[in-house]
Chain A
Amino acid sequence: DAKTTQPPSMDCAEGRAANLPCNHSTISGNEYVYWYRQIHSQGPQYIIHGLKNNETNEMASLIITEDRKSSTLILPHATLRDTAVYYCIVRVDQTGANNLFFGTGTRLTVIP
Chain B
Amino acid sequence: DGGITQSPKYLFRKEGQNVTLSCEQNLNHDAMYWYRQDPGQGLRLIYYSQIVNDFQKGDIAEGYSVSREKKESFPLTVTSAQKNPTAFYLCASSGSSTSYEQYFGPGTRLTVT
Contacts and interface: CB of A to CB of B under 8 A. Distances in A.
By size class, the interface of chain A is 20 to 34
Which secondary structure dominates chain A's binding surface?
Answer: loop
A97 B48 contact: yes
Given A99-B58, A103-B42, A105-B42, A45 B104 contact: yes
Given A98-B100, A99-B48, A41 B88 contact: yes
B43 interface: yes
Interface string A77-98: 0000000000100010011111
Contacts of B2: none
Interface string A28-53: 00001010000001111110010000
Nearest to A90: B100
Interface of A: 32, 34, 41-46, 49, 87, 91, 94-105
Q: Top 6 closest A-B pairs, CB basis?
A: A43-B104, A102-B43, A102-B42, A103-B42, A99-B45, A46-B101
